[in-house]
């Protein structure tokens, strides 16, 4: 009985984005600190940063909703699907190349600090805040 009550309370807390960010940041920090010698830390950071950079950079090339595709570099008018395919494919290639360079340099510069739990906590919290900001911009602010 107590477990169900605590679980319901925990689920209510998870609705709060600040609590969820703290929880995700803390779990990320634990993973960064515990597995820094196995390459898991690098993989976690590169994956999250790649997703975030991809969202930001691909938005420069292709936008749209409800069947209307726009290519900001060509203006705000609707574009044919063929143009959209070319722009999306180009954005994937360009963002992949940029992300590879950017994330590798970031991870290389901070990977030496993974043995410090405070640094891991700061990195984990920063990653969770960045994901929250991306989610907010992507799904809630238009």
More confident: 74 or 13? 13
For residue 3, give both structure tokens. Answer: 């477990």
The mean pLDDT value for 79-91 works out to 80
Percentage of residues of the chain with pLDDT beyond 70:
96
Q: Domain containing 27: what range?
A: 2-140
pLDDT in tens, 18-71: 888 888 888 888 887 887 777 777 778 888 888 888 777 777 777 777 777 777
In whole angstroms, give the CA distance from residue 75 to residue 57: 17
Mean pLDDT over the full length of the chain? 79
What is the total count of domains within the chain?
Answer: 1
The mean pLDDT value for 87-97 works out to 81
Give pLDDT, residue 2: 84
Task: Tell me, yes or no, if the pTM score tops 0.75.
Answer: no
Q: Is 65 helix (H, G, I), strand (E, B) or coil?
A: strand
> 16-43 burial string, b = 16+ CB within 10 Å, else e?
eeeeebbebbeebbebbbeebeeeebbe
Percentage of residues of the chain with pLDDT beyond 90:
0
Place of tokens 């290389």: 108
User: Where does the pLDDT of residue 110 fall: very low under 50, low under 70, confident under 90, or very high at 90 and above?
Assistant: confident
73: enclosing H helix or E strand: none
Give pLDDT, residue 141: 66
**Residue ranges in the chain assigned as alpha helix (H):** 2-14, 17-34, 40-61, 81-110, 117-135
């Amino acid at each position: 009985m107590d477990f169900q009550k605590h679980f319901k309370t925990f689920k209510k807390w998870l609705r709060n984005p600040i609590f969820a960010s703290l929880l995700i940041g803390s779990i990320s920090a634990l993973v960064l600190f515990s597995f820094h010698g196995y390459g898991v830390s690098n993989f976690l950071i590169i994956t999250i940063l790649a997703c975030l950079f991809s969202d930001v950079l691909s938005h420069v090339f292709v936008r749209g909703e409800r069947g209307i595709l726009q290519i900001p570099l060509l203006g705000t008018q609707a574009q044919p699907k063929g143009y959209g395919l070319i722009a999306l494919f180009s954005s994937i290639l360009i963002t992949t190349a940029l992300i590879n360079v950017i994330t590798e340099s970031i991870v290389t510069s901070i990977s030496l600090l993974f043995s410090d739990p405070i640094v891991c906590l700061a990195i984990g919290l920063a990653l969770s805040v960045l994901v929250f900001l991306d989610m907010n911009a992507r799904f809630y602010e238009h």
